[in-house]
């Protein structure tokens, strides 16, 4: 079973209150981010609604959505640099930003352009 992420603002300090978390069912969404030549883009920043992650070396991100699925998903994908990745030179891609039906997230890969 897949589980959905939870978001909370927690104040840390000597008087912090205990927090209870319970796992809720979710749906896993995976998608690849690639360049115009179809090569994976590792380390791209992916924001879906309030969720934030980076793509893995194969260009994939993974997201679990709460069981009450949203009809649409706002996304932003950005890859500004690749400094520190062996064998790479600094690259800059244009940001990809839109809102799509959740059903389209599982379709074709996201493609970032130079």
How much is the pLDDT for 18? 83
**Per-residue confidence (pLDDT) for residue 40, from 0 to 100:** 93
> Does this model's pTM top 0.85?
no
What is the residue extent of each domain of the chain? 31-111
For CA atoms 98, 99, 103, 105, give the dihedral sign: positive
Fold observed for domain 31-111? Immunoglobulin-like (2.60.40)
pLDDT surpasses 60 at 84: no
Contacts of 18 (CB under 8 A, 6+ apart): none
Q: Is the pLDDT of residue 79 over 60?
A: yes
In angstroms, the CA 11 to CA 16 distance is: 6
For 18-28, what is each residue's pLDDT tens digit? 888 787 777 78
């Amino acid at each position: 079973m897949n589980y959905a992420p939870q978001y909370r603002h927690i104040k840390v300090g000597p008087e912090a209150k205990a927090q209870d978390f319970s796992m809720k069912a979710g749906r896993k969404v995976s998608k690849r981010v690639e360049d115009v030549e179809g090569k994976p883009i590792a380390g791209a920043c992916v924001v879906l609604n309030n969720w934030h992650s980076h793509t893995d070396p194969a260009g994939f991100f993974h997201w679990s959505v709460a069981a009450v699925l949203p009809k649409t998903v706002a996304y932003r994908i950005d890859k500004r640099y690749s400094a520190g990745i062996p064998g790479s030179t600094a690259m800059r891609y244009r940001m990809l930003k839109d809102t799509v039906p959740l059903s389209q997230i599982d379709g074709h890969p996201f493609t970032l352009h130079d």
